[in-house]
Amino acid sequence: MKIFHISDLHIGKQLHYYNMKEDQMAILEQIVDKAKELRPDVLIIAGDIYDKSVPSAESYTIFNQFLNNLSRIEPHIPVLIIAGNHDSAERLNYASTFLEKHNIFISVQPPSCDKEYLKKIVLKDEFGEVNFYMLPFTKPGYVRHLFDEGVITSYDSAIKALIAREDIDYSKRNVLISHQFYVSGDKSPDTCDSEQVYITVGGIDSVDIEAVKDFDYVALGHLHGAQSIGRSHIRYSGSPLKYSVSEEKHIKAITMVTINDKGTDIIIDRIPLAALRDVRSEKGLLSDIISRASDENRHDYLSITITDEDEIYKPKDQLEEHYDHILELKVENNRTRAQLEQVDFKVTTLNPFEAFKQFYQEMQGAPMSSEEEQIMLDVISKLHTPIATEGDE
């Protein structure tokens, strides 16, 4: 069975205020073209379809067109989609019953009651059945009520308990689709700037691969760099586009997995994808950076650092005559380094309420409501933690 594995589309993403609609439509068209050419038996999208929990109408249109284009391929290719931490379960699940009639299967939440289990899709090839278990992004609080008190104490215990509850027959071929932060013992995967905010300091959101190692393949989403973690068959596909300068060295691709008979090694290939515009950095003298502009690279998304020692007249204006997607412009020379060394940095200590408000904004992508703020204030008050009010020193 041939599997296309992709994840982290982040449709609707903006890169330093540049709308990436054109880039995303082009890369999704490439994926469709590769599906027409290589004819996978199934396409997996392992979460973070959209960049925001409330996608724009434009984002819905882009994804809808992608699914429509896939559905036109004959014979039909089943599409298996799970929700990531960026996705809204309710919005992603819209019309899922109708979509299943067109071989598009969506799972947005883990089981919510004793009678529910992970969505399981069974496909067949010349060697028999392959069971696909769909595990969307899960927090411990989502499933704690399904187990005895004290069983679910972490992300790791939540995922282990959910999988153990399935009573999976590992003598058969099984694939897991999951969107979490997986580690292998004390070894963590490589991360980049675009996802750091969603990975908890201290690793409390991590899940050890011991929970999933018995699957024949584990199709992961959440991290933007393609990589295996702990075992070759436990793999992040990475995002199809670069979403930060820290991804500059990434080679974006579709992960193509071939599973033959049970007990044989799986085959992993990467099908390269070519973006309309690269995301990269330029560093050097202003004149040198300008001289490197060409028809092939002038439209790239650029982080530029100029190292000239002399004052330059309107450097950004000069650069914009040659590059039209400048993300940021920095100056690095002896003068700026000396200025940084002389700065008397003032460390601001936030009170617990303000610190939690910032954390909530980062995690949820939206500010707290007035009701939520009051609940938090009440909790902090009960803990007898003093709350600094406006005007306090």
Q: Which of 195, 176, 184 is nearest to 130 (CA)?
A: 176
Per-residue pLDDT tens over the stretch 10-43:
999 999 889 999 999 999 999 999 999 999 999 9
pLDDT class for 201, splitting at 50, 70, 90? very low
Q: What is the DSSP string of 265-292?
A: PPEEEEEE---SS-EEEEEE-HHHHHHT
For the cut 50, the answer to whether the pLDDT of residue 219 exceeds it is yes
| Range 52-90 burial, b when 16+ CB lie within 10 A, else e | bbebeeebeebbeebbebbeeeeeebbbbbbbbbbbbee
pLDDT at 343 over 60: no
pLDDT on residue 234? 98
* pLDDT value of position 286: 96
Smallest Cα–Cα separation from 51: which of 191, 152, 166, 194?
194
pLDDT of 119 strictly over 90: yes
- As a whole number, mean pLDDT of residues 153-172 equals 96
pLDDT at 344 over 90: no
- pLDDT tens sequence across 170-185: 999 999 999 999 999 9
* Number of residues in the chain: 393
Place 339 in a pLDDT band, splitting at 50, 70 and 90.
low
**pTM for this entry:** 0.84
Total Cβ atoms within 10 A of residue 132: 25
In this predicted structure, the answer to whether residue 274 has a pLDDT above a threshold of 90 is: yes
Please say if the pLDDT value at position 4 is more than 90.
yes
Query: CB 51: neighbour CB atoms within 10 A?
Result: 21
User: Tokens in use for 270?
Assistant: 């990467």
